[in-house]
A and B are shown apart, each in its own frame.
Chain A
Amino acid sequence: MRGNNVVGIIFSNMNEELVRELTEGRTMGSVPFGCRYRLIDFPLSNMVNSGINKVGVVTKRNYQSLMDHLGSGKSWDLSKRRDGLFILPPFGNSSSEFNNRVETLYAIKGFILNSREEYVLLCDCDVVCNINYQEVIKQHLKKQADITIIYKRGIVPSKMNTPLILSLNTDGRVKETYINPKIESECSYGINMILMKKNLLIKLVAECMSKNEVNFKRDLIQKNISKYRVFGYEFEGFMKVIMSINSYFEANMALMSKEVRDQLFYNYRPIYTKVRDDMSAKYEQNAIVKNSLVANGCKIDGEVENSILFRGVKIGKGSKISNCVIMQDTIIGNGCNLSYVISDKDVTIKQERTLMGFKSYPVYISKASLV
């Protein structure tokens, strides 16, 4: 059985200024990740796997690559007669600009109100995880909550954009929230996934707009904590927040662990992505590959270690690639030596080039460059 009473809203541009290199020509949602995915594949697949049949993707700018990736939504089973995938770019006059989350929600209130579903789930693209929202919905109903905020227990990742820290009582109800406090110890921090009734959301958004108080966390959530039944839902699985080029690199490298892969690519809740129809990865005579993740369409004739190779990457004979993230269709010639490099898509690295970054400072090569 598919389908539940929830419509999903994904913000594809949120926090993209934190990884400026990768989002220069694309949205946060279309940042390539993990050999064959884009970041939006995770929230989209999570929603679909949780029975959400209608998803609106909010786009603000730079969304050509995102549109290309999503297409009709077929790859996520969201190409449907009823419901399915909706792309929500800015429209209308200046009153409907997408400057912040509250204004954006105000601008798309037509989409939300016209949905048959009673609840709405808000989510960003900067969190990589595999979460079953059905459990969140179940808890939301059981607790008779007005608002459920999904959180993670742990030390707040440094550089996370204005983290929302929750103080919970034993029942899981949120007593107090703190925005961007100085906490070094373990705490419960929101991961920008929020579930509530759509009518409540629209009401709160309208209130905020009427007072011109448009900070989502401060004005819409924090000010209403005592007024409504706000609960936390703890997500316990593997999760990474992408908030800098370093955390992007680390999140990719984390996939080398079998435990992480098992939690992220859970068999019954697969992560879907756009199909490319590449042939299987091809290993040639001189290939030596160790502790690496490789996508279809790769051709490897060199040495690869601790690296992530996206679809269609070619590694020439005698080249040595270690601790690198090499995005789709990058061509590396013969005899190159790369270490701690993030190469964006369609890069060409001619033969005998040496590029060295450092663990804490990987070298980034922008899209379609020629080295």
Chain B
Amino acid sequence: MFPKQEVVAMLLAGGQGSRLGVLTNKLAKPAVPYGGKYRIIDFALSNCVNSGIEAVGVLTQYQPLILNEYISNGQPWDLDSMNSGVQILSPYQRIRGADWYKGTANAIYQNINYIERYNPEYVIVLSGDHIYKMDYSKMIAFHKEKEADCTIAVINVAREEASRFGILNINPDLSIYEFDEKPENPKSTKASMGVYVFNWNKLKEYLILDYKNKESDNDFGKDILPAMLNAGEKLFAYEFNGYWKDVGTINSLWEANMDLLGSNNTFDLSDESWKIYSKNPVKPPQYIAESAEVKNSLIGDGCNIYGKVDFSVLFDSIYVGKNAVIRDSIIMPGAIIEEGAVIKYSIVSENTVVKKNAIVGSCPNEVLNKDDWGITVVGDNITIGENAIVAAKSMIDKNVSGVKNNERK
């Protein structure tokens, strides 16, 4: 018998994040490293715990190994209680056939049994690939106060960006009258954050209806929410004013990291009252050598820095050799940047080695044609040879062989 939980969280973590290219070759998007020591899913998990939610189902599908291993029994987030805590929910086989999760709604539908164990009043549906700090308990209080059937968290976005999002059109009392998926001419700038609170009985009803509808994509945004709206259910928008970032692309992932640094610091991770929990590497302290120059950066445990680091995020256990320069970049755990190597506007993945005097990426002003410029991405466990040059905007998933210095173009 499971103790009743007023709220059960369902965390969608099955997305591939195909626009992140080599970064998500071997792991799901929620497992992508972020901010010097976290993985993206730490934010949703920590938000749950800090909001007092004790039962969290994590729906995995694409490349789940690293995610499963990372979450394991949920101990870093205090989600290892006896009868609740975190539960990985992967697609499974039934007596009659087996299905992958066809859409976000279908993923929840297939796990109705998990939710029912806790006999909850409310279910909060979250996405595992957003970076934000949010108190869900306030949103649930709002949901109760409005006696809503469904409450959707919204954030104000710039008008020119609004057509990238699901836009909600709202009455003055915050009730929703229209749902506009990626509209060409947005009527409002209130974008859905992919955080939904439902009355569980209502949601279950609509999930079952939706499952029976063969035409449906089984998606919350496209199917469930419009169906509820059309049926006249009470949908409300909950306005969120904090920092929120959907790191769906290389650029947005890079930007979200840069938001932590120097004068563009718009997101605070040192807040004691809203800690972000993660699995901590067991590493000695970082060593900053006599020859090093570190400014406007985040550096993780176990790093040995002998070179110059500016406006960059370095995860744990990274070596930066003498006269190496790292600027405006993200370096993931275990990477080795040898003497004299230069990394600019790049993301270098785990355990990659950049050999002596290699140059990876370039600054925007060093490229003649603006369209040729972009963030350079180097995949994990790759070697960039001595003196090699990796152009801006490239995405490297194979070793790059070195060249002799005088043969360098």
Contact = CB atoms under 8 A, between A and B. Distances in A.
A275 interface: yes
Contacts of B52: none
A273 B75 CA distance: 16
Interface residues of B, number: 38
B19 interface: no
A283 interface: yes
Chain A binding surface, main DSSP class: loop
B23 interface: no
A241 B296 CA distance: 38
B275 A296 contact: no
Nearest to B299: A281
Interface string A262-284: 00110000111001111111111
Contacts of A290: 288-290, 292
A369 B409 CA distance: 60
Nearest to B282: A270
Contacts of A308: 285
Contact of A289 (B263, B278, B292): B292
B295 A284 contact: yes
Contacts of B309: 283
Contacts of B269: 279
Interface in B284-337: 284-290, 292-301, 304, 309, 313-315
Contact of B286 (A284, A288, A293): A293
A313 to B, nearest CB: 11
Contact of B36 (A271, A279, A285, A292): A279
A294 interface: yes
Contacts of B275: 277
A74 interface: yes
B213 interface: no
A176 B37 CA distance: 53
Interface in A274-320: 275-297, 299, 308
B289 A270 contact: no
A34 interface: yes
A278 B296 contact: no
B332 to A, nearest CB: 12
A324 interface: no
B286 A281 contact: yes
A291 B309 CA distance: 15
Contacts of B398: none
A296 to B, nearest CB: 6
A261 interface: yes
B262 A284 contact: yes
A296 B37 contact: yes
Contacts of A277: 76, 275-278, 280
A279 B37 contact: yes
Contact of B298 (A256, A261, A282, A286): A282
Contacts of A255: 285
A279 B285 CA distance: 13
Contact of B287 (A74, A270, A275, A293): A293
B300 A297 contact: no
A254 to B, nearest CB: 13
A166 interface: no
Given A34-B285, A270-B283, A294-B285, A283 B290 contact: no
Nearest to A79: B75
A36 interface: yes
A35 interface: yes
B281 to A, nearest CB: 9
B282 A280 contact: no
Interface in B43-85: 75-76
B397 to A, nearest CB: 27
Contacts of B263: 285
B35 interface: yes
Given A279-B35, A279-B270, A280-B36, A261 B287 contact: yes
A292 B299 contact: no
Interface centre among B35, B263, B285, B300 (most CB of A within 10 A): B285
B288 A291 contact: yes
Contacts of A278: 270
A25 B331 CA distance: 41
B286 A275 contact: no
Nearest to B304: A258
Interface in B65-120: 75-76
A247 to B, nearest CB: 20
Contacts of B288: 289-294
Contacts of B282: 270-272
Contacts of B315: 280
B262 A296 contact: no
Contacts of A258: 287, 304
Given A256-B287, A279-B35, A283-B294, 20 more contacts: A34-B284, A35-B284, A258-B287, A258-B304, A261-B287, A264-B284, A265-B283, A270-B282, A279-B36, A280-B299, A281-B298, A283-B309, A284-B296, A285-B296, A289-B288, A291-B289, A292-B288, A293-B285, A293-B287, A294-B286
Interface of A: 34-36, 74, 255-256, 258, 261, 264-265, 270-272, 275-297, 299, 308
5 contacts: A288-B293, A290-B292, A292-B288, A293-B285, A294-B285
3 interchain residue pairs of minimum CB distance: A280-B36, A35-B285, A265-B284
Interface of B: 35-37, 75-76, 262-263, 269-270, 275-278, 280, 282-290, 292-301, 304, 309, 313-315
